């Protein structure tokens, strides 16, 4: 009897967890990042810690600095937002949610000039990194992560 009750409670808790996970609002972090090679690199921002290894491996830089960022909590999956720095702007337009993630339209502006546009299905478990233009000795990267 006790054991059955324990199983029932566990089952209900698990189901509740699954349901709440499915319905929880999620936050998308969007960042404009300048990657550079410097003699004394600063620590990687916490938002990028998760993909620090991948960034260093693919782009070959040792320092990553966030020059603009935005955090948006998605409730309907239809929101849009802007992450900006002094000269760049990343406009993100969410166009729906699926089990795997969100369909996003991304536009990178240099001031008012559209440099790059892409549509992506951003997975909840897989960050997106876009290599932007060369800026001085560094590289502009656009990073989107579902937190």
Partner 1 sequence: MKTFEEKWTAWLDGQLSGRELSEFEASLPDKAAAEIEKADAKKLGALLKSELRAPALTNEEFFSHQLRERIVRESSVPSVEREAKASTWWTIPRLLWTGIASLAVFLIFTVFVIRDKNPAEESQYLTQILNARVDPVVSPNATVSMFEVKQDRVTVLWTEGLQSLPADYAAK
Q: Which residues lie near partner 1 (CB under 8 A)?
A: 34, 51, 53-54, 57-58, 65, 67-68, 85-88, 99-101, 103, 110, 113-138, 140, 144
The distance of closest approach from Cβ of residue 3 to partner 1 in the complex, given in angstroms and rounded to an integer, is 26
Q: Which residues pair with 33 in a beta bridge?
A: 66, 141
Q: State which residue, 17 or 133, has the beta carbon closest to partner 1.
A: 133
Rounded Cα distance between 19 and 112, Å, is 43
Q: State which residue, 12 or 18, has the beta carbon closest to partner 1.
A: 18
Q: State which residue, 81 or 105, has the beta carbon closest to partner 1.
A: 105
136 Cβ neighbours under 8 A, 6+ residues apart: 36
Long-range contact pairs involving 40-49 (C-beta distance under 8 Å, separation at least 24): 47/143, 47/145, 47/147, 48/143
Q: State which residue, 92 or 144, has the beta carbon closest to partner 1.
A: 144
The distance of closest approach from Cβ of residue 80 to partner 1 in the complex, given in angstroms and rounded to an integer, is 17
Q: State which residue, 7 or 87, has the beta carbon closest to partner 1.
A: 87
The distance of closest approach from Cβ of residue 76 to partner 1 in the complex, given in angstroms and rounded to an integer, is 20
The distance of closest approach from Cβ of residue 20 to partner 1 in the complex, given in angstroms and rounded to an integer, is 20
Residue-wise over 53-63: b if at least 16 C-beta within 10 A, else e? eebbeebebbb
The distance of closest approach from Cβ of residue 125 to partner 1 in the complex, given in angstroms and rounded to an integer, is 5
Rounded Cα distance between 103 and 106, Å, is 10
């Amino acid at each position: 009897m006790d054991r059955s009750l324990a199983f029932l409670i566990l089952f209900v808790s698990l189901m509740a967890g699954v349901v709440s996970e499915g319905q929880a609002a999620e936050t998308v972090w969007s960042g404009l990042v300048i990657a550079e090679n410097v003699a004394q690199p600063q620590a990687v921002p916490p938002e990028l810690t998760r993909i620090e290894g991948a960034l260093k491996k693919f782009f070959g830089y040792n320092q990553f600095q966030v020059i603009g960022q935005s955090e948006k909590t998605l409730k309907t999956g239809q929101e849009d937002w802007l992450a900006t720095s002094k000269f760049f702007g990343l406009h993100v337009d969410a166009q729906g949610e699926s089990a795997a993630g969100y369909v996003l339209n991304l536009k990178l502006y240099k001031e008012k000039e559209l440099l790059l546009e892409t549509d992506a299905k951003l997975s909840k478990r897989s960050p997106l990194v876009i290599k932007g233009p060369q800026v001085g000795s560094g590289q502009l990267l656009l990073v989107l992560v579902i937190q």
